[in-house]
């Protein structure tokens, strides 16, 4: 099985769960410097402890390298979790998002279609819902007014995959992840950014009024949901393409999350407000009825437990 983004946050966690189940995993990542590569190497070191893991440092846009990878292995399943992530950075460097999330994804789709992959499972994002005040978000919503370049590229990936399902019969399932946090997370994401500020005795910078609402989803639930979809097999519709929300159903205000994090860390919370940048969404909350109906999946890690487990890891990793 191929897992792209294997050195990334969700990719590493999914790959580790598969390896722990006795699956053989070929990991792919370009190990770029969007954030400290040392964290990526530390994640890979955990995967290399498993005999069934091998790794290729490769960029999705390397067409010859990707073609050689698909020719050398008869992948039945591909879990595509590689992407250029980050809403705010997509405004500064849009070309990187177009390159990775559209051009690179297209190279992967070609490889899957030509080699007869039986099921492509790929990561999308709650950001695709864009400009809408309706919550919770349903997979049936239009998702046609993205607020950032990142969101636009993730929605473009969904549409490209649907096209490949229709034209080539490539079975695919997209997962719209909602605000995933937890151990081994990205340092540019809210949980680690806030924890670093609190640990240093510094004010926590909040963009906007802090009343944004999020479905903070613990990494274990994100992994369990991903594996549930993978185990169930490819979608059976025509075209064989499906989309699912995957997130917590707890409606949490950003300031409440920061206060809970501060209490768990035993740190005094001081907020420093800053202007809200473009691209931010006021609320991202999932309708999980499709996951419940099709896979019997329920998120089961509440915010209190998730924050506690995250802080335990953060203290250990930070040393």
User: What's the CATH fold of domain 2-181+217-248+285-300?
Assistant: Rossmann fold (3.40.50)
What span, in angstroms and rounded, lies between the C-alpha atoms of 280 and 87? 8
Active-site entry in 34, 97, 122, 150: 150
pLDDT, residue 87, reads 85
Residues of the chain with pLDDT under 70: none
Domain boundaries, the chain: 2-181+217-248+285-300
pLDDT, residue 318, reads 86
Summarize pLDDT for 98-138 with one digit per residue, the tens.
999 999 999 999 999 999 999 999 999 999 999 888 999 99
Two tokens at 308?
């506690």
What span, in angstroms and rounded, lies between the C-alpha atoms of 58 and 62? 7
What span, in angstroms and rounded, lies between the C-alpha atoms of 157 and 287? 21
pLDDT, residue 278, reads 86
β-pairing verdict for 213-214 and 77-80: unpaired
**Dihedral angle of Cα 57, 228, 297, 102, to the nearest 10 degrees:** 40
pLDDT, residue 89, reads 83
Question: CB-based burial of residue 119 (10 Å sphere; 0-12 exposed, 13-18 middle, 19+ buried)?
Answer: buried
181 belongs to the catalytic site:
no
Query: Which residues are registered as beta bridge partners of 283?
Result: 213
What span, in angstroms and rounded, lies between the C-alpha atoms of 66 and 110? 10
Edge-first strand listing for the sheet containing 77-80: 53-57, 25-29, 2-4, 77-80, 119-125, 172-177, 241-246
Distances, alpha carbon 133 to alpha carbons 2, 245, 316, in Å: 37, 17, 39
What span, in angstroms and rounded, lies between the C-alpha atoms of 42 and 82? 17
């Amino acid at each position: 099985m191929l897992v792209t983004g294997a050195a990334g946050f969700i990719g590493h966690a999914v790959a580790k769960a598969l390896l722990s189940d006795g699956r053989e995993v070929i990991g792919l990542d370009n190990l770029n410097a969007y954030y400290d590569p040392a964290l990526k190497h530390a994640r890979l070191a955990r995967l290399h402890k498993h005999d069934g893991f091998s790794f290729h440092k490769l960029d999705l846009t390397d067409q010859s390298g990707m073609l050689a990878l698909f020719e050398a292995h008869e992948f039945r399943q591909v879990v595509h979790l590689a992407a250029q992530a980050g809403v705010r950075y997509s405004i500064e460097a849009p070309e990187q998002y177009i390159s990775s999330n559209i051009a690179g994804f297209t190279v992967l789709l070609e490889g899957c279609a030509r080699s007869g992959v039986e099921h492509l499972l790929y990561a999308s994002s709650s950001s695709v819902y864009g400009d809408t005040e309706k919550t919770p978000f349903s997979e049936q919503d239009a998702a046609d007014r993205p607020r950032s370049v990142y969101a636009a590229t993730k929605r473009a990936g969904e549409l490209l995959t649907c096209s490949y399902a229709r034209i080539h019969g490539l079975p695919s399932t997209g997962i719209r992840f909602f605000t995933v946090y937890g151990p081994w997370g990205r340092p540019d994401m809210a949980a680690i950014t806030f924890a670093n500020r609190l640990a240093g005795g510094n004010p926590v910078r909040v963009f906007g009024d802090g009343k944004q609402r999020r479905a903070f989803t613990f990494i274990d639930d994100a992994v369990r949901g991903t594996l549930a979809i993978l185990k169930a097999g490819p979608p059976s519709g025509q075209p064989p393409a499906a989309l699912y929300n995957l997130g917590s159903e707890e409606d949490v205000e950003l300031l409440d999350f920061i206060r809970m994090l501060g209490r768990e860390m035993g740190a005094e919370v001081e907020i420093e407000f800053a202007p809200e940048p473009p691209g931010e969404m006021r609320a991202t909350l999932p309708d999980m009825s499709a996951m419940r109906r099709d896979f019997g999946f329920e998120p089961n890690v509440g915010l209190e437990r998730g924050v506690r487990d995250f802080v335990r890891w953060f203290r250990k990793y930070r040393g």
